[in-house]
């Protein structure tokens, strides 16, 4: 069996795809890697919420699968939006790497006053922790972000620790604690999406990690019930059924939060609906400020 696997062209996307390719090779499955440009890679000068959110990284690959140009695609699972096209399936969720954010800085921590991040969640959590900070927009791949840091445009930048590990990068700084800086839903997780064909999906099934899939399914259920995607600052993280979920004001001044042990996806949906009610005002404010229709 030979499979065509699609990926974005960034160094991180290729590293994640090569991880999947290596596991398949060990199982005797041949692959061809196909690089596909996405709207999110092309439009690096504007915030994600202004071009449609995280899904801009996924749509081109979804379309290529549905057109039959590739058999599957490898994604950072946090980039996959809640609404999915018919004809596709998530055939494997790999064992989770670090879910944490990593604050990269070369100056002393106490000297950090300007931080680069394009994430509404990271911005809100940073401002909650230290309201005097200035958080400036920063888009681009990991190399671009590090270059801008070293050019002095920022005192520090925030990156996903898992991405740094997958790229083999060791940078000065520290991981941010996941209880205070609750990660984006599914952060640190690689997923394989393929056409809904048992022969294709079956090839990836051995890569699936049951506990990680349950944890990320719980996170996605909460995310779907809360709504808002990357438009609303929200952190949702589950480990072994222990769930932390929060929605914040854009400026980090207020937030609503739940902490529960959750055993099933159905239970997660109940808590997601409860959080949406608790956070309704914050969600409305974020949508209005960003010009997003509910």
**CA–CA–CA angle 262, 265, 269 (5° rounding):** 90
The CB-based long-range contact list for 271-274 (8 Å cut-off, 24+ gap) reads 271/222, 271/243, 271/245, 272/221, 272/222, 272/223, 272/224, 272/225, 272/226, 272/245, 273/225
Identify the bridge partners of residue 234 per DSSP, sorted by sequence position.
247
Q: Which residues are catalytic?
A: 79
For residue 157, the domain's CATH number is 3.40.190.10
Q: Is residue 110 located within the same domain as residue 57?
A: no
For residue 227, the domain's CATH number is 3.30.160
The helix-helix angle for 265-278 and 280-290 (nearest 10°) equals 70
**CA–CA–CA angle 151, 49, 15 (5° rounding):** 60
pLDDT in tens, 146-158: 999 999 999 999 9
Give 231 or 251, the one with higher predicted confidence.
251
Tell whether the torsion through CA atoms of 93, 48, 287 and 243 is positive or negative. Answer: positive
- Nearest alpha-carbon partner for 79 in 278, 223, 287, 209: 223
With respect to residue 277, please indicate whether it lies within any of the assigned structural domains.
yes
**Per-residue confidence band for 121, with pLDDT thresholds at 50, 70 and 90:** very high
Domain range for residue 256? 222-290
With respect to residue 182, please indicate whether it lies within any of the assigned structural domains.
no
Q: Is residue 136 located within the same domain as residue 18?
A: no
Q: Is residue 282 located within the same domain as residue 136?
A: no
Q: Are 88 and 66 in contact (CB under 8 A)?
A: yes
pLDDT in tens, 59-95: 899 999 999 999 999 999 988 887 789 999 999 999 9
């Amino acid at each position: 069996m030979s499979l065509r696997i699609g990926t974005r062209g960034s160094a991180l996307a290729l590293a994640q795809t090569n991880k999947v390719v290596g596991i398949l090779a060990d199982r005797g499955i041949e692959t061809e890697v196909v690089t596909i440009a996405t709207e999110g890679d092309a439009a690096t000068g504007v915030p994600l919420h202004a071009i449609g959110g995280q899904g801009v990284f996924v749509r081109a690959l979804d379309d290529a699968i549905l057109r039959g140009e590739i058999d599957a695609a490898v994604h950072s699972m946090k980039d996959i939006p809640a609404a999915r096209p018919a004809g596709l399936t998530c055939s494997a969720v790999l064992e989770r790497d670090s879910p944490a954010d990593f604050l990269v800085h070369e100056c002393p921590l106490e000297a950090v006053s300007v931080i680069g991040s394009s994430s509404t969640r990271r911005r809100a959590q940073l401002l909650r922790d230290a309201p005097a900070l200035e958080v400036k927009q920063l888009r681009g791949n990991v190399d671009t972000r590090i270059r801008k840091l070293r050019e002095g445009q920022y005192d520090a930048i925030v990156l996903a620790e898992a991405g740094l590990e997958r790229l083999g990068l060791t940078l000065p700084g520290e991981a941010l604690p996941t209880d205070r800086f609750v990660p984006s839903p599914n952060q640190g997780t690689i997923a394989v999406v393929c056409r809904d064909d048992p022969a294709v999906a079956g090839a990836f099934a051995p890569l699936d990690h049951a506990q990680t899939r349950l944890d990320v399914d719980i996170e996605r259920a909460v995310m779907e019930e809360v709504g808002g995607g990357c438009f609303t600052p929200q952190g949702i993280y589950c480990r072994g059924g222990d769930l932390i979920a929060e929605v914040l004001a854009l400026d980090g001044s207020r937030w609503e939060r739940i902490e529960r042990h959750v055993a099933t996806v159905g239970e997660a949906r109940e808590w997601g609906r409860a959080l949406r009610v608790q956070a309704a005002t914050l969600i409305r404010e974020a949508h209005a400020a960003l010009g997003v229709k509910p």
